[in-house]
Amino acid sequence: MPQKPIICTIDVVLLCLQGSALHVALLKRDKPPFEGGYALPGGFIHPEEDADTLDAAARMLNEKTGIASPYLEQLCTFSGAARDPRGWSISIVYYALVPAELIKPDRAPGLQLQPVDQLRTLPFDHKEIVLAAVERVRSKSSYSSLPVYLCGEQFTLPRLQAVYEAILGEPINKVSFRRKMDELDMLEPVEGALEAGRANRPAQLYRLKNQYRNRLSLSGRAMTANSDH
Amino acid sequence: MPQKPIICTIDVVLLCLQGSALHVALLKRDKPPFEGGYALPGGFIHPEEDADTLDAAARMLNEKTGIASPYLEQLCTFSGAARDPRGWSISIVYYALVPAELIKPDRAPGLQLQPVDQLRTLPFDHKEIVLAAVERVRSKSSYSSLPVYLCGEQFTLPRLQAVYEAILGEPINKVSFRRKMDELDMLEPVEGALEAGRANRPAQLYRLKNQYRNRLSLSGRAMTANSDH
């Protein structure tokens, strides 16, 4: 008897900030298993169509949410006999960070944002997957440009600092923050652009340098909350 | 026409130190493709037998090299239409670190150790996989207990420092090193055990604390070569 093939899927953990809380995008499942439940956007690899799993993840994210994320990174692979009632399965998981404005529910019916720190039970092992992605994002954020993907194209330094603080979950000393930004050397001022709607002392707007649009700027040292080291 | 199933494999990057050079274990392939070439130990997932991919990796490592590594971690998944001549494939890659003495060529015919910094071309994308594993090991070593797995069960602090230096590729200030070991809090002296064969000032032997046998001790900050920060 030929062996049942292993089920090969991709899941994408799409994260954004609402207020100061990290949220994950979930989609209402329209077929079994777990029909009607909210789960990560994902699906089967299409060998005829996808060059590799990164390509498959980008296709799925776009098909299911209408989003083309500039940053999509592999988290890791979840696997086993127990995680999917249909059989032995593999899910190669990717994560993406985007500004909340980019997530448009009219482009993706059944899409819902849930705060990652108050997740209810999810289908399959998706809760475990989301928590692993959040842990990766939090640890990677402390020494990289990763949180910038949560901002829109242009932002002030105080806004960016607030985003870092939201991810790291603690206040950051302003001097350390500015020093870390200098070290990461990833930002450039938008010439002549000041934050709109602030009469007094409008703040300069910044954007990511071109070379960091699709890849991270990394620092050898983690940002320490409220510390100057 | 039913779609050809995706080929699901596991590969293990088994690393050890010879002298001060990191080496990877390669096995002579006894069947096509690349028959006779040296490649990473690996094989197909057996859904009837393996609970998940970690389980499959441990099984394969043991079957192919006779080694039960105390530390086996997922690196990432390599995939696509181009990497295996047999078809669209996935390789979920794990890496392991062991003392060189544990690798016994008589237990594994066709096993060869190659220095990772002088790798020749390997079958499939295995060279790329080895280099990715080495990069992960080097970056993870700077803030964790990972290099300890390259030592035998008991070792002196100077020996362990030499192992860290070999992995990080640079000398480490002794005071910083000792401070980092204190911080990681992963070692305990072996009572009454001194290094054999040294008449003058024999050094104390240490071993990993029990709770770190199978999991890493992590520090929030990287060890900086020759620095005291």
**What's the complex ipTM?**
0.91
CATH of the domain at A171: 1.10.10.10
Q: Do A6 and B45 touch (CB under 8 A)?
A: yes
Residue A163 CB burial class (10 angstroms; 0-12, 13-18, ≥19): buried
Measured in angstroms, the CA of A72 and the nearest CA of chain B are apart by 14
Mutate to test the interface with A, among B11, B77, B94 (most CBs of A within 10 A): B77
Mean pLDDT to the nearest integer, B8-28 = 96
For residues A15 and A115, what is the distance between their CA atoms, to the nearest angstrom?
A: 10
Phi, psi of B175 (to 5 degrees): -65, -45
Tokens read off for A202: 């409008």
Q: Does residue A163 sit in the same domain as residue A72? A: no
> Would you call A170 an interface residue with chain B, using a CB distance cutoff of 8 Å?
no
Asked if residue A22 lies in contact with residue A141, where contact means CB atoms within 8 angstroms, the answer is no
Residue B120 placed within a domain = yes
**23-82 of A, contacting B, C-beta below 8 A:** 45, 47-48, 51-53, 55, 74, 76-77, 79-82
Residue A124 placed within a domain = no
Residue B192: band (very low, low, confident or very high) from pLDDT cuts 50, 70, 90:
confident
> What are the pLDDT digits (tens) for A200-222?
778 899 999 999 988 899 887 77
Q: Do A51 and B4 touch (CB under 8 A)?
A: no
Looking at residue A119, its amino acid is L
Q: Does residue A181 sit in the same domain as residue A79? A: no
Instruction: Give, in order, the Cα–Cα distances in Å from A80 to each of A18, A89, A125, B51, B53.
Output: 34, 6, 11, 5, 7
Residue A32 placed within a domain = yes
Residue B228 placed within a domain = no
Mean pLDDT to the nearest integer, B198-226 = 82
Residue A135 placed within a domain = no
Q: Does residue B171 sit in the same domain as residue B70? A: no
For residues A143 and A166, what is the distance between their CA atoms, to the nearest angstrom?
A: 15
Closest in B6, B47, B52 to A8, CB measured = B6
Say yes or no to pLDDT of B55 above 80: yes
> For all residues of chain B together, what is the average pLDDT?
91
Phi, psi of A113 (to 5 degrees): -100, 135
Kindly give, in sequence order, each residue whose CB lies less than 8 Å from that of residue B12, ignoring residues fewer than 6 positions away.
Answer: B40, B41, B42, B57, B60, B61, B72, B93, B94, B95, B96
Q: Does residue B64 sit in the same domain as residue B171? A: no
- Which positions in chain B touch A4 (Cβ < 8 Å)? 47
Mean pLDDT to the nearest integer, B100-110 = 86
Mutate to test the interface with A, among B88, B128, B140, B226 (most CBs of A within 10 A): B88
pTM for the whole thing?
Answer: 0.92
Q: Do B47 and A222 touch (CB under 8 A)?
A: no
> Would you call A220 an interface residue with chain B, using a CB distance cutoff of 8 Å?
yes
Looking at residue A109, its pLDDT comes to: 84
> Would you call B228 an interface residue with chain A, using a CB distance cutoff of 8 Å?
no
Q: Does residue B40 sit in the same domain as residue B153? A: no
- Which positions in chain A touch B53 (Cβ < 8 Å)? 77, 79-80, 90
Residue B229 placed within a domain = no
Q: Which residue has the tokens 């249909």?
A: A86
For residues B173 and B196, what is the distance between their CA atoms, to the nearest angstrom?
A: 26
Q: Does residue B175 sit in the same domain as residue B130? A: no
Mean pLDDT to the nearest integer, B90-102 = 96
Asked if residue A204 lies in contact with residue A194, where contact means CB atoms within 8 angstroms, the answer is yes
Peptide bond into B33 cis (omega under 30): yes
Asked if residue B45 lies in contact with residue B18, where contact means CB atoms within 8 angstroms, the answer is no
From its phi and psi, is residue B166 left (phi > 0), alpha (psi between -120 and 50) or beta? alpha
Alpha-carbon torsion A130, B92, B61, B50, what sign?
positive
Residue A226 CB burial class (10 angstroms; 0-12, 13-18, ≥19): exposed
- Which positions in chain B touch A128 (Cβ < 8 Å)? none
CATH of the domain at B67: 3.90.79.10
Tokens read off for B113: 């150790």
Q: What is the pLDDT along chain A (229 residues), one digit of tens a residue?
A: 456 789 999 999 999 999 999 999 999 999 999 999 999 999 999 999 999 999 999 999 999 999 998 899 999 999 999 999 999 999 999 999 999 999 987 778 899 999 999 999 999 999 999 999 999 999 999 889 999 999 999 999 999 999 999 999 999 999 999 999 999 999 999 988 787 766 677 889 999 999 998 889 988 777 765 444 3
Mutate to test the interface with B, among A7, A74, A76, A79 (most CBs of B within 10 A): A79
Number of domains in chain A: 2
For residues B139 and B132, what is the distance between their CA atoms, to the nearest angstrom?
A: 11
The distance from CA B96 to its chain's CA centroid, rounded to whole angstroms, is 3
Measured in angstroms, the CA of B173 and the nearest CA of chain A are apart by 18
> Would you call A90 an interface residue with chain B, using a CB distance cutoff of 8 Å?
yes
- Nearest CA among A134, A47, A56 for reference residue A95: A134
Closest in A47, A55, A77 to B6, CB measured = A47
> What are the pLDDT digits (tens) for B124-181?
999 999 999 999 999 999 889 999 999 999 999 999 999 999 999 999 999 999 999 9
Looking at residue A1, its pLDDT comes to: 45
Q: Does residue B104 sit in the same domain as residue B151? A: no
- Radius of gyration of the CA atoms of chain B, in A: 19
For residues A148 and B31, what is the distance between their CA atoms, to the nearest angstrom?
A: 48
Host domain of residue A30: 7-118
Q: Do A90 and B87 touch (CB under 8 A)?
A: no
Instruction: Give, in order, the Cα–Cα distances in Å from A192 to each of A35, A46, A229.
Output: 51, 47, 33
Q: Does residue B110 sit in the same domain as residue B160? A: no
> Would you call A228 an interface residue with chain B, using a CB distance cutoff of 8 Å?
no
Q: Does residue A107 sit in the same domain as residue A160? A: no
Closest in B3, B4, B90 to A90, CB measured = B90
Chain B nearest-CA residue for A82: B51
Q: Do A74 and B74 touch (CB under 8 A)?
A: no
Q: Does residue B122 sit in the same domain as residue B29? A: yes
Tokens read off for B18: 């010879």
Kindly give, in sequence order, each residue whose CB lies less than 8 Å from that of residue A205, ignoring residues fewer than 6 positions away.
Answer: A154, A155, A156, A189, A190, A193, A194, A195
Q: Which residue has the tokens 């992995």?
A: B167
Q: Does residue A37 sit in the same domain as residue A106? A: yes
Residue B83 placed within a domain = yes
Q: Does residue B18 sit in the same domain as residue B130? A: yes
Domain end point (choices B119, B141, B163): B141
Domain end point (choices B94, B114, B141): B141
Residue B227 placed within a domain = no
